[in-house]
Amino acid sequence: MGSYDASLCAPKGRTAGLDPPVYLSLRPVEALGGLTNAERATVLGAIGFDDAPEPAADAPYPVLTLPMSRLDGQKLCEVWRSPWPVSYGEHHGIRYACNGEVLFGGFCLPEKEPEPVETRTYRAYRRILDLIRVAGYEHLVRMWNYLPRINDEHLGLENYQRFCLGRHQAFTEADYVFDRDLPAASAIGAGTEGLRIYFIASRVPGRQVENPRQVSAYRYPLLYGPRSPSFSRATLTEFGGERQLYLSGTASIVGHETLHPEDAAGQLKETLINIQTVLEESGHSRTKLDELGPDCVLKIYLRHREHFRLAKKTLAETLHPSCPVVFLQGDICRRDLLLEIEGVIRLPRS
C-alpha cells in the first residue's frame, strides 16, 4: 500500500477504562509470537535491538530494529500497545498503526549516495508530516531518530548539525510555531547506514514542556550549528485524566553548555537533576524520581560500554526498584556528552 487510506484511522470512540491510548511495555521478542489474535490486534508497534532476534517481520504493525546493543543482557524489545483494537496501513514507506486517538509510525530511510544528511532528513520529515496531516493526527508528540555516524564531520558540519538543518526546514515549511508545536525527541548515533525514525502523533496537541535550567534547544546559539535542534524538552499528554510525560533525550547541559566533560558520574548526576526539573515544570512538583513505578520506562544511552556499571548502580540507588530501565550503547549528539536519558512517564491522575 503506497498512500494513506482515510477509512483506516477514523475515530472509533474510546472504550471505557483508565489506560491512556498508547503505552509502552518491555517484552521478550519471543513473546510477540505468543500473542492471541485479540492481543495482536492491540499492538501499535515493536522496536527491537541489534542483539535480539528480529521482531516478527510479517506482523501488520510497524516493526523497526535499531542497530545498537543492549548493555544489560536482557533480550527484550519495546512493545507499544493500545487498550483497544487498532488499524494498520502504509504511506510512502511509513508503516503505521492508529486507534482513533494516536498514530504510531516507523520506517528506515536508506542512504542514497551522495545525498547529504540534511536532504535525507528533510525527505523523511516531509513524509511524516504529510502522513499525519492527511490522517488527521496533526500533532507530533514524540520522535525517536537514529542516525549513522552522528558525530562525523563533512565540510565543517557534523552529521547531527546536518540532521538539524533538514528537520528545521521541514518544520518551518509546515508552519510550526517553535515554542508551541515541537515534539519531544531524541537523536542518537546508531549503525553505519540508514536513517531510522519512529514517532507518535495525536489528534489533540500535548503541552510542550521546557526546562528553566536550560536554554530551549530551538534557541541555541550558532555555536551549535546553523539551525538549532527542533524539539521540546518534553511533551505532556492528557487523555481522560490519564497523563503521560514523553521525556526527550536529556543530558548534562545547563544553559546551553555541557557540564562535567569526561566525567560520567558528574554527567549522570546533572542529567537526573534536569529530569527532576522537567517533572516539576510539567506541573508535578511532588513526583520524585524514586517514586516512578512500573508504568514508566527510562532508556539510557551510554557512549562507552565501561560506564554501564556506574550507570546501573546510580540509577538503582535513585529510581524506584519497579521502574524499568533500558541500557543501550549509542553515540550522543555532542562529542563531549557521555550519556543521555529519555523516558515515558505515566503521571498520577489529576
Catalytic residues: 340
Nearest to 157 by CA among 121, 126, 191, 190: 121
What is the distance, to the nearest Å, from the Cα of residue 339 to the centroid of all Cα atoms in its chain? Answer: 15
The cell numbers describing 180, all together, are: 508551541
Closest to 260 (Cα-Cα) out of 334, 152, 189? 334
Q: Is 81 helix (H, G, I), strand (E, B) or coil?
A: strand
Say which DSSP state 255 is in.
Answer: B
Scanning the chain, the segments in alpha helix (DSSP H) are 29-32, 37-40, 117-135, 159-173, 264-281, 308-318
**Rounded Cα–Cα distance for residues 221 and 227 (Å):** 9
The residue written with cell numbers 487510506 in the block is 5
- 4 to 94, 106, 168: CA distances (angstroms): 10, 15, 25
